[in-house]
Amino acid sequence: MHIDRFSEVSDRYKVIFLDSYGVLINHRGLIPGVVECIARLRAEGKHLRVLTNNAARSAQAASRRLVKYGLPGFPPEEIITSGATTRQFLQQKVRSGKVAYLGTAAAAEYIIGAGLEAIPVAEVDMSRIDDIKAIAFLDDEGYDLNTDVNRVINLLRQSQAPVVVANTDLLYPVTANDVALATGSIARLAEYVLGRQFVKFGKPAMQMFQLGLESVGRELTDVSLSDILMVGDTLHTDILGGNSFGIDTALVLSGNTRRESAATEIQSSGIFPDYVCASIGE
C-alpha cells in the first residue's frame, strides 16, 4: 500500500474537508504536526471546513474544544456538525410535541430545541406512546446500554413516529487499542431487529457534505466538486461519504484505521480512498 505525503496531496485542491477526531485530534490529544499543517493550508489560501459526526456539540462548542486542545482558528462557521443537520430536520418535519431520545441532556437541548419537548427514553410513559412525535438517537453517553436500549426497542415496536440518527458512527476509540459501541451501532441493531429504516445524519449521509459545499460556495463562487478533498480516518463514514458525494478522498492512519490493517480493510470493504496518508501532520 502506497503512503502519500499529505502536503503533496493537498496542493491539488482549493477546498479541504476535515474530519475532527482522528484527523485533528485523537485519544492522545492534538495530533503532531496539525497546527503547522493548518497554518500552511491557510497561508496557501485553502478553504477549510471541519465535518464532524459528533452530534453532542454545537459548532460553537466544537470550536472551543479545538482551542482547548491547542488548535485555534476554526470559527463556528467553518464547522459542520451532524447535530446541526438533525436539528434542521426536526424543525422542518416535527414542529411540536415530544421527542424521545437516547443521549445526554446537553445533546438533546442543542439538537431538539426549537419548541419541541425532549424527553429521555427512560422517562417515556409507555401508556401514552401517541404523545411521542419523534425518536432520536443522539449521543454515545447519557443512557444505560442495557435497560434504555431495551426500552427504546419496545418503544419503537409500538410507535410509528419518525426516527432520526444524529451520529452514524459505529465505534469510537477509548484507548490506543480499544473501542466502544457508538450510537450508530445501537441504531443499526434496532433497524435490524425491527425491520425498519431510520433517517440518518452525519457522514456518510449527503447532508453534511452539501452543507459544507454551500458554506464554501459563499466564499468561493466558482467551486466545483473536483476542487474538494475529504480527509478522514474512517472508511465507512468519511471515505464512503466523500466517494458517494463525488469528491476525492484521503484516508489518514492517525485515528480509527490502523496502518497494519488498512490495506486489508480497504480491500474487504470495497471502499477505496484516492489517497492514503500517515496523517495530515506528516
Q: Please tell me the least confidently modeled range out of 14-18, 157-161, 175-179, 200-204.
A: 175-179
Strands (DSSP E) along the chain, which ranges? Answer: 15-18, 25-26, 29-30, 47-52, 79-81, 98-102, 117-120, 132-137, 163-165, 171-173, 179-181, 199-200, 228-232, 248-252, 275-277
d(CA 242, CA 246): 6
Domains of the chain plus CATH, in order, are 6-53+204-277 (3.40.50.1000), 84-200 (3.40.50.1000)
The proportion of the chain whose per-residue pLDDT surpasses 70, expressed as a percent, equals: 99
pLDDT digits (tens, 9 = 90+) for 214-273: 999 999 989 999 999 999 999 999 999 999 999 999 999 998 898 899 999 999 999 999
The proportion of the chain whose per-residue pLDDT surpasses 90, expressed as a percent, equals: 71
